[in-house]
Structure 1
Amino acid sequence: MSHVTSITRSAGSKQGLIIQFASSLTIMGSVMIAPMLPKITAEFAATDPGSVDLIPLIVAAPALAIALFAPIAGVLADVLGRKRMLLIGCLLYALFGALPAVIGDIKLIVLSRLLFGCAEAIIMTCCTTLIADYWAPADRMRYINRQVITIGVVGALFFVIGGIAGEGSWRTPFFLYLAPLLIIPAVIAWLWEPDRRGEEASAPKRPQQKIASTIAGSYFLIFAGMVTCFVVTVQTPTVLVGLGVTSTSLIGAAAGLAILSTLLGSIAWPFFRDRIGVARVNACLLWFMACGLFVLSLAPSYPVVLVAMVLQGFGAGFLVSNASLPLLMKLPAGLRARGIGGFTSCLYLGQFASPLIVAAIAAPFGGIPAGLAAAIVIWGVVTALMALAWLFVGASKSREPAQTGNG
């Protein structure tokens, strides 16, 4: 059993399962609805052709809302408490998540999805912060990695579940967003507000400059890493169409392989972290993703594209755990939630910015699709240079014990 920072309570597998399940609600926000877009488009385009431009926002709006609202969610969690904000987030998630099932106006649906994203920001920020609040440093690494793995598995499951639920009507999957109502009793009964004052009183004081450098490094890594991840996620279908692959099954299989590789990377992360340290793992994951970009840009056939998906996915499996670990280890309890909120914001800003960055790089080469290969190569070079920079950071330090989380 792992000991919580409070002297009166300890957290174990029960609390871990609640936090892992609550964390997985965020991935449900997009993957479950993406398969429904063609049906939504067909229904609204028939009566209001102008609404077609708004339909992609049904998937994209929550991510943008998370990016914008997560820092605010972090401040609220530090001021009002993690458990209270988690309960509020679950209630809002259920309300705004299910609302599109009974709304007939596309603009109101998009608005509800924006508010839904704010609820996701609250849940993700509070869950990640509670991992650091409840468990000692050695156990935090284990639970943050379990969180990442659970999110990946749930994302894959609900991609299928959403498609099955939507066979009859595109509105049906939205009712699945009522799921958080099932865990609210468990949150009330088995989670508690951590003793932040007690932890801060006993924790060693860290220089403000050291805390600032930790935050800057984690924020930069997760933003740049997510830009790179989504270059592959967003641009691979275009690459495959250019190779003459138009089968949605084959394109979906490539995405599935990337998800599987990411899960394998998450499982392998502790092995790499314990042997080469956090900073060198940063270099390693960026190099894997850079290699994936180079292979994707030069791929002459579908099998070679699959190789790119494996390389990129494996590196991506290290990313969230390794980038967030220094924050979970070093941030003082009173600032922890807002620090995690900023991290969550950078994660989703990277997703949002990725296609914009690729389009900007491709513009001088004829735009997309003509300049896509050149844009991918250029961003691959940028990623490789970032990997080299992190390698120098790792080389400047002694080999880091697993307990420190230095990076």
Structure 2
Amino acid sequence: MMIKLVLLLASSLTVMAGAIITPGLPDIGRYFDSYPDVWVKLIITLPALFIAIFSPLMGWLADRFGRLPVLLTCLLIYAFGGAAGALAENMTWMLLTRALLGIGVAGVMGIATTLIGDYFSGQERQSFMGLQGSFMALGGVVFINLGGLLALGSWRANFLVYLFSLVVFALAWRFLKEPQPEKDTADFNPQAPFPLASVLPVYGLGFIAMALFYLLPAQMPFLLAERFQSNSLQTAWVIATSTLSGALAGFLFGRIKNLISHRQIYALAFILFALGYFMAAQVDTYLLILAAVLLSGFGAGMTFPAGNHWLLTLAPVAYRGRVMGGFASVFFMGQFMSPLLAAPVEAWAGLTGVFLAAALLAMSLALLLLLLPSGNPQGQEVD
């Protein structure tokens, strides 16, 4: 029981990395008003770039030297890098601390999911993957609202919440054990090549899903301020509504996976993204914005456990850390690229145009997934 709790708490830290400061982003922008707007948005997304860069290394280290040494080290890096943002007086210091936070998250996220694959199998693993996604989303609700409340006083207070990583460190040190690979199983073959052809399509879907999802924390606060003059707490409620919907999706993942394939889950998620973002672009009341993010949030909540579970079914034991580290890399590269990809669309058509373009992309991908025959473009079955 404690092993599961520690893994769930560690997983929630990845959500907190961005969620805790999102409601205060407009206030941070006003404090650093001498910098371009895109620099302020990098405060949210820069950790994702460093997660993308360092996750493969963390996966290799975990496969080579063990899961726990890497996890424990990264929990300490996470605490220091996150909390140090409270001391920022210039953008250089702020972005350096966000980069360090990203390095910490790179190890925490990939290795927590790898340990789920090590400790559990079969239906228990499938159900726990859904529980992981649900717990992360519920953690997002807590952290978003906590961030909204703290931001009403000072945006600096938000960064101190990152010290919660030290609690997770203590619990991991006490209760987690280094898993021993089952080297007598057919699945353990250290000489086999990295299964790139099998995992690459899943990596691509994960990248797109995260790029779509991260429009919410990176763009929605500014859309709400522009359209409704919302304060930080009202922004927190919108994002918390999305994450609560995602929690429900994660809770139901095990049941959904028993009915449809991984690929069909992604198709359904993209349809919900499309409907939610189309609504967000069109509606003119705060309550309808909440309805819109309920839809998109449910879609987002399905993609995380679907991608992780899909890859755990594809990854040989000897490559499990690297496969999951690679997924964390492309997943968070999608997070980092989201505002950069949205910037030219925003310059041309405004924030409304960004959400309309995202809706069109999501619906196109959903139709493609539903119409393509089973198997990836190389003709290999990946689902």
Deviations, residues 20-63 of structure 1 (Å, cap 9, x unaligned): 11111122222223344455566666xxx569985544333222
Is 1:175 aligned to residue 154 of structure 2? no
Which residues of structure 2 form unaligned runs of 5+? Answer: 376-380
Amino acid at match of 1:143: F
Is 1:214–1:326's contact at 8 Å kept on the other side of the alignment? no
Q: Please give the alpha-carbon distance, in whole angstroms, between the structure 1 residues aligned to 2:188 and 2:258.
A: 23
Give matches, 1:6-405, under 5 Å. Answer: 13-37=1-25, 40=28, 49=34, 55-102=40-87, 104=89, 106-165=91-150, 169-196=154-181, 198-199=182-183, 201-203=185-187, 211-237=195-221, 244-248=227-231, 250-299=234-283, 301-361=285-345, 366-369=348-351, 372-373=352-353, 375-393=354-372, 396=374
Percentage of matched positions with identical amino acids: 29
1:318 Cα deviation from its structure 2 partner: 0.6
Task: Identify if the C-alpha distance between structure 1 residues 340 and 282 changes in structure 2 by more than 3 Å, giving closer, same or farther.
Answer: same
Alignment partner of 1:368: what SS? helix
Q: Please give the alpha-carbon distance, in whole angstroms, between the structure 1 residues aligned to 2:218 and 2:155.
A: 23
Moved segments of 4+, more than 6 Å: 204-210
1:331 Cα deviation from its structure 2 partner: 0.5
Q: Please give the alpha-carbon distance, in whole angstroms, between the structure 2 residues aligned to 1:281 and 1:54.
A: 35
Q: Please give the alpha-carbon distance, in whole angstroms, between the structure 1 residues aligned to 2:100 and 2:5.
A: 26
TM-score by length of 1: 0.81
Is 1:359–1:367's contact at 8 Å kept on the other side of the alignment? no
Q: Please give the alpha-carbon distance, in whole angstroms, between the structure 2 residues aligned to 1:98 and 1:28.
A: 12
Q: Please give the alpha-carbon distance, in whole angstroms, between the structure 2 residues aligned to 1:265 and 1:193.
A: 31
Q: Please give the alpha-carbon distance, in whole angstroms, between the structure 2 residues aligned to 1:166 and 1:335.
A: 42
Is 1:288–1:312's contact at 8 Å kept on the other side of the alignment? yes
Q: Please give the alpha-carbon distance, in whole angstroms, between the structure 1 residues aligned to 2:70 and 2:174.
A: 15
1:148 Cα deviation from its structure 2 partner: 1.3
Mean CA deviation greater in 110-119 or 94-103: 94-103
Q: Which has the higher contact order (CA 8 A, sep 6+)?
A: 2
Is 1:297–1:377's contact at 8 Å kept on the other side of the alignment? yes
Task: Identify if the C-alpha distance between structure 1 residues 406 and 343 changes in structure 2 by more than 3 Å, giving closer, same or farther.
Answer: same
Amino acid at match of 2:318: G
1:213 Cα deviation from its structure 2 partner: 3.4
Count residues in correspondence: 377
Is 1:278–1:406's contact at 8 Å kept on the other side of the alignment? no
Which residues of structure 1 form unaligned runs of 5+? Answer: 1-12, 398-404
Deviations, residues 372-391 of structure 1 (Å, cap 9, x unaligned): 43x54444333223212322
Q: Please give the alpha-carbon distance, in whole angstroms, between the structure 2 residues aligned to 1:100 and 1:85.
A: 23
Q: Please give the alpha-carbon distance, in whole angstroms, between the structure 1 residues aligned to 2:311 and 2:187.
A: 15
